[in-house]
Amino acid sequence: MESEQEKSRGLTFAEQQLLRHGWEHGKGLGRAENGISEALKVKVKCDKGGVGHKQGEQFTFHWWDHVFNKASSSLHVASDQLVSLMLIGVAAWGKWFGLVSSIRVVAGVIGVGIFLFLVAFVGLCGALKHHQVLLFFYMMILFIVFIVQFSVSCACLALNEDQQRHLLEVGWNKSEATQQDIEKTLNCCGFSSVNYNGSCAAQCFINPSPTCRTCSSIIQQYTREVLQFVGGLGLFFSFTEILGVWLAHRYRNIRDPRSNPGAFL
């Protein structure tokens, strides 16, 4: 039997791909000769200018369409992994340098980062192996994440000043560790009023005659800008997630030419 390289002489790119896949998938299964014979049949048709040329072009189109969708899906999944690693890194950095002392906040951010990383890993395995089940679960989970993130982003952009103040006060009263972090970072005391008979972690409170501002007056100066930034960034990533759902769905429904090279002929 002639080698694959000898048989592929004079064949076009599409025919060589068909020959290569027929040879690889036929090893040990007695189908290599069938794959080679099919490729040679296409070669004969192409030489005669018959239908084989169009079939070869069709195979080339489907092959490159498969490669493009696989590369696009893998690139999108890699970007999701990068975002998840950034979340984990930011949370660890904030805890390491003492910017955030609340364990629950750090654990929540790291948990979200790990969850997104696992989802992206499932999508990457599904894209590389063209695995139907993994791609399906990746699409479903990513679509749920899209709905949640899109809703939160719209809520951030729609909040008015009274709603912002109410939410800030609720968050302030829930955690003393958060209060101390904010007072120390912003050099302020109390949310809406300063209690000079109490305790405060701000530097201004240590002075013999303390004159500290309330934290709400400082926080609300930047709340609107932060909410607009977070909402806009969330909307951007929401649309990239729905793009990922579309790419995964499209790639999942494309027939893999590696499993059956003759399916497009």
The answer to whether the beta carbons of residues 241 and 48 sit under 8 Å apart is no
pLDDT averaged over the chain? 68
Output the CA–CA distances (angstroms, integers) from residue 140 to 66, 93, 173, in the order listed.
Answer: 22, 32, 37
Q: What is the pLDDT, as a whole number, of residue 231?
A: 84
R_g of the chain, CA atoms, integer Å: 30
Assigned token pair, 262: 């003759």
The answer to whether the beta carbons of residues 17 and 59 sit under 8 Å apart is yes
The Cα 171–Cα 188 span in angstroms is: 16
Mean pLDDT value of segment 77-92:
68
Q: What is the pLDDT, as a whole number, of residue 75?
A: 60
Chain-centroid distance, C-alpha 167? 29
Asked if residue 195 has pLDDT above 70, the reply is: yes
Secondary structure letter of residue 12 according to DSSP: -
- Summarised one tens digit per residue, pLDDT across range 144-154 is 988 988 888 88
Asked if residue 29 has pLDDT above 60, the reply is: no
Mean pLDDT value of segment 177-193:
81
Asked if residue 43 has pLDDT above 70, the reply is: no
Q: What is the pLDDT, as a whole number, of residue 96?
A: 60
N- to C-terminal Cα separation, the chain: 25
Asked if residue 61 has pLDDT above 70, the reply is: no
- Summarised one tens digit per residue, pLDDT across range 220-251 is 877 778 788 888 888 888 888 888 888 878 77
